[in-house]
Amino acid sequence: MSGPSNVGDLGPDGMPGQPTRPPLAMVYGGGGLFGIAYTAGIAAGLLDAGLPVDTAPALGTSAGSWTAAAMALGLGFDTFSRARVVHVPNLRPGVVAALARELFGEARHPLVSASAVCLSTGRRHVLDGGALALADLVAASSAVPGLLPPHRVDGRLYIDGGVWSATSVDSVPGADRVIVVAPLAGAVLGPVGRAADLLLDRELGRWRHRHPGCVVDVIRPHREIARLAGRHLLSLFDPRRAHDVYPLGYEQGTRWASHLPEHDAA
């Protein structure tokens, strides 16, 4: 399969390039720079604890698409820390894509997918990192309306996948275990977090119905991390807050993995 794909047109597992059920799949949700730092911290903690998240198929939404791409390419959070910051709002065409290409070049990776919303139809598409440059995936998936510009992929303009869902977990393929990292769920941002939890629960219900026998886990920020999200949307794009979030996410990831049975972390 090539190019952007509507989730209704995908194979039975809902994501491109996954013909058999893998032992592990990752879902990284959105949340601005806060979300990048949190998902990257969790992923690094899980990896160092022995979970092979770097070789697992990964679906990213908005901020989570950056982490999905970085993990697949073996890039650590220091890659983001050294990158220039795009301050929002910034609607200059190509500004996000240029930053993404500085980080990822023209790399593609078949284990990476990203959700984005087609501007002309309002429908969610899952973009395939095996067929498209990862820089295009993350630029499309991260185009927050009013803050960052839409991004064109194969003739279609896309906006942030979070417009549809903060995680799009209902479009991830079946796997023996699916780990959902949800930066905006739970205690984060009060009513926003509660609404994200409700949507996530509905999506998980649909996913479990399609994939009986699969295990799904959700990792949410604890209250100390949630406080760093601030009280306003733009707080999620504060690089200083993100810098503080990463080590806390890493600690949470390693602690979470330590509670898994030993054979699950191999």
What tokens appear for 65 in the block? 């698409």
Cis peptide before 89 (omega within 30 of 0): yes
* 217 strand-pairing partners: 179
Tell me if 182 sits within 8 A of 42, measured CB to CB: no
DSSP three-state, residue 250 = helix
The CA distance from 174 to 24, in Å, is 9
Catalytic hit among 5, 54, 62, 168 = 62
Catalytic hit among 13, 54, 136, 160 = 160
CA angle 157, 162, 165 (to 5 degrees): 120
The answer to whether residue 160 is catalytic is yes
DSSP conformation letters of 159-206 = EEGGGT-SS-GGGSPP-SEEEEE-TTSTTTTTHHHHHHHHHHHHHHHH
Other CB atoms within 10 A of residue 88 CB? 17
DSSP conformation letters of 90-148 = ---TTHHHHHHHHHHTT---TTEEEEEEETTT--EEEEETTTS-HHHHHHHHT--TTTS
The CA distance from 42 to 45, in Å, is 5
Classify strands 5-6 and 124-128 as parallel, antiparallel or unpaired: antiparallel
**Positions marked catalytic:** 62, 160
